[in-house]
Structure 1
């Protein structure tokens, strides 16, 4: 009698589990999004891809925890808290080395009114994490029109240490005449003013 009751209870449990995990009984309340990026994001992405001229791969909406890793011997409590925070944050765009996909530059679009969830104020956790990991971070105000030179200048400003290690000419200087670059590197003072003070 006891065995019959146990078998019946077991059959009921198996039936409940089978119903619960039956793929046909699971509901997915989703539909396709009308667009993956906002108009400003699409325009910005196109401009970035043109600006880097194929030197870097451009990734979009990368989780912070995919860009940084915990240091060895980190306190367990601190590590858990940091991972939770990093998992809840993302960077809008990341430039990566084409050869090994190493992160080179993180870029965030900043909306003045907090549109579409973008923070108007600097997230010090994101900035601190990227700074500690030695990943440059650029925050660019979202607006209706970007010029190629503006984006190139912004990128090159953040990539100065990388360019020094590479010994390469920045994007913004590649098509410029040597005399123009030289003038930027060596600012001059008015001769009349110099003579005045020399006298």
Structure 2
């Protein structure tokens, strides 16, 4: 009887030790990030939000697999391969329709170096997937000094097909507008050569 009590006590002790050890393994070694976005991302987010006004919502860091869906007739092997490739891809900013939050445009920042994980070269898988889904894709080189007009022009240039479907005139940049050439309303030279007066 005493042996049974000792064995039960040992089992309870071992269970407590095991729980304590598993708690240390399950601890969460995290702290809050001071900044959710880099300085360049914050700057571009503000520019994009100001450029689109109240027409679109801007979502940040959207996974490619959340933005696209597989076609129903895709074979299983191709579907698995595509999902595997798309699984680790993300878009920096996505413009969405304010009414139903459907995606309208994908925007990526391109850095001079890949320190922050941004691709310097075009990712043909991402571009091809977005083209197939008919989502315009804009890649903007990250640099200081962009103006609101430049960002708006870049966005609107890619939105020309959408504007046509909406029946709105495409955006024309101020420097691309045809200049009105003022012409004189009266002749500046005689229409026919003048005849010398006969003496």
Q: Do the aligned partners of 1:61 and 1:91 also contact (CA within 8 Å) in 2?
A: yes
Structure 1 position 135 matched with structure 2 position 130: no
Residues in 2 aligned to 1:168 and 1:19: alpha-carbon distance in whole angstroms: 66
Q: Distance in 2 between matches of 1:156 and 1:34?
A: 34
> Secondary structure of 2:140's partner?
strand
Query: What are the within-5 Å matches in structure 2 for residues 46-195 of structure 1?
Result: 46-170=46-170, 183=178
TM-score by length of 1: 0.75
Unaligned runs of 5+ in 1: 1-7, 189-199
The Cα shift of 1:181 comes to 7.9
| Matched-pair contact (CA < 8 Å) for 1:19–1:25 | no
Q: Contact 2:59–2:93 (CA<8 Å) still a contact in 1?
A: yes
Structure with the bigger percentage of helix: 1
Structure 2: 5+ residue runs without aligned partners?
1-7, 182-199
Which protein has the larger Cα radius of gyration, Structure 1 or Structure 2? 2
Q: Deviations over 1:4-38 (max 9, x none)?
A: xxxx9xx99xx69x949x77862111111121111
1:139 aligns to what SS in structure 2? Answer: strand
Q: Which residue is equivalent to 2:38?
A: 38
1:169 to partner: Cα distance: 3.9
Question: TM-score of the superposition, structure 2-length normalised?
Answer: 0.75
Aligned length: 170
Give the equivalent residue in structure 2 for 1:195: none
Residues in 2 aligned to 1:84 and 1:25: alpha-carbon distance in whole angstroms:
30
Query: What are the superposed Cα offsets for residues 26-62 of structure 1, whole Å, 9 maximum, x if unpaired?
Result: 2111111121111111111001000001100000000
Q: Secondary structure at the match of 1:36?
A: coil
